[in-house]
């Protein structure tokens, strides 16, 4: 399979079309705002309609169902919490399929498993629509700054046509081939991130119990081969016990679970990642799901 790390610039053909956006959560709202700020005509929907109000005040139009957004839009993006939400919005009453007609396009930015993505893709294409899965790597800050990484798969011509929209959302967009490959790539990336976060928190906890200065540990990590943006950003948050969610812990737990299922399906044993899943499951049981995923440090230290 050939992997494309960039796509040909196609200009601003989308600027005269209507863009739909479903899901105004931590990620969806800033992504939709970036599209609006770039001059796109935007229609939005969220299950809790109040979350659409900031976008409406900025110039977007709100609709009362996914079906109505899809029916009115040329291309509809969705950023939803998990596979259950993605399927509900697509297949449920007044869902995406009810508004889908030939020629319209649906781009699912949600992090789901490959089975869910393929299921949605099949339904969209059987309705005459075009489909692209496009989960994103990055959390709240990159979403606000348009610095995400888009991991796309599916309709290659649609990927090319969405160049100007992707430029509003991301610093890089990558085409990975057939539907399912985007979902798999996102799960691999988040599986690695979850395992590394677990080890990072354990290192900080062990160091402090040994009498080491926690800020000193961060300084040493930053000076060596393991220097990385996640440690630089999350380290001070952990020390300050500031767990305001940029990437909610419940979503990392979900992603590690889905990665574990992908490992079982492919016959790849994931010893470290399954240990990380167990750690995040403990954090969920402790009621930390709505906190940032670095709040797993509380489970490690306590």
User: Is beta strand 105-108 parallel, antiparallel or unpaired with respect to 130-133?
Assistant: parallel
Among the listed residues 104, 186, 234, 250, the single catalytic one is 186
Which residues 6+ apart lie within 8 Å of 187 measured at CB?
Answer: 111, 113, 255, 258, 259, 262
- To the query of whether residue 254 is one of the catalytic residues in this protein, the response is no
Q: How far is CA 47 from the centre of its chain?
A: 18
130 touches 158 (CB < 8 A) = yes
**Among the listed residues 240, 255, 256, 244, the one whose alpha carbon sits nearest the alpha carbon of residue 290:** 244
User: Which residue is associated with the tokens 């996640």?
Assistant: 230
Which residues 6+ apart lie within 8 Å of 236 measured at CB?
Answer: 218, 242
Q: DSSP secondary-structure letter at 16?
A: G
**Strand blocks (E) in 51-206:** 61-62, 75-78, 105-108, 130-133, 136-137, 148-154, 170-175
- What whole-number distance in Å separates Cα of residue 246 and Cα of residue 138? 9
Q: Which active-site residues does the annotation give?
A: 186
């Amino acid at each position: 399979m050939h992997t494309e790390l960039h796509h040909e610039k196609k200009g601003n053909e989308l600027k005269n079309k209507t863009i739909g956006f479903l899901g105004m959560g931590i990620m969806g709202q800033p992504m939709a705002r970036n599209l609006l700020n770039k001059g796109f005509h935007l229609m939005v929907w969220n299950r809790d309609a109040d979350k659409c109000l900031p976008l409406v005040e900025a110039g977007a139009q709100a609709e009362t169902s996914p079906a109505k957004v899809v029916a009115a839009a040329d291309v509809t993006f969705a950023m939803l919490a998990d596979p259950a939400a993605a399927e509900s919005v697509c297949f449920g009453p007044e869902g995406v399929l009810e508004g889908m007609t030939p020629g319209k396009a649906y781009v699912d930015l949600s992090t789901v498993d490959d089975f869910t993505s393929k299921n949605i893709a099949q339904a969209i294409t059987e309705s005459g629509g075009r489909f692209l899965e496009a989960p994103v790597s990055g959390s709240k800050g990159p979403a606000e700054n348009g610095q995400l990484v888009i991991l796309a798969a599916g309709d290659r011509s649609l990927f090319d046509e969405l160049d100007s929209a992707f430029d509003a959302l991301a610093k890089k967009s990558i085409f990975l081939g057939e539907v399912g490959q985007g979902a798999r790539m996102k799960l691999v990336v988040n599986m690695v991130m979850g395992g590394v976060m677990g080890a990072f928190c354990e290192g900080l906890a062990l160091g402090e119990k040994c009498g080491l200065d926690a800020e000193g540990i961060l300084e040493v990590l930053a000076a060596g081969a393991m220097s990385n943006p996640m440690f630089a950003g999350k380290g001070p948050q952990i020390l300050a016990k500031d767990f305001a969610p940029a990437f909610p812990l419940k979503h990392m737990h979900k992603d590690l679970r889905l990665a574990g299922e992908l490992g079982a399906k492919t016959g790849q044993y994931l010893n470290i990642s399954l240990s990380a899943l167990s750690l995040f499951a403990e954090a969920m049981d402790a009621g930390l799901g709505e906190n940032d995923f670095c709040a797993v440090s509380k489970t490690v230290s306590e």
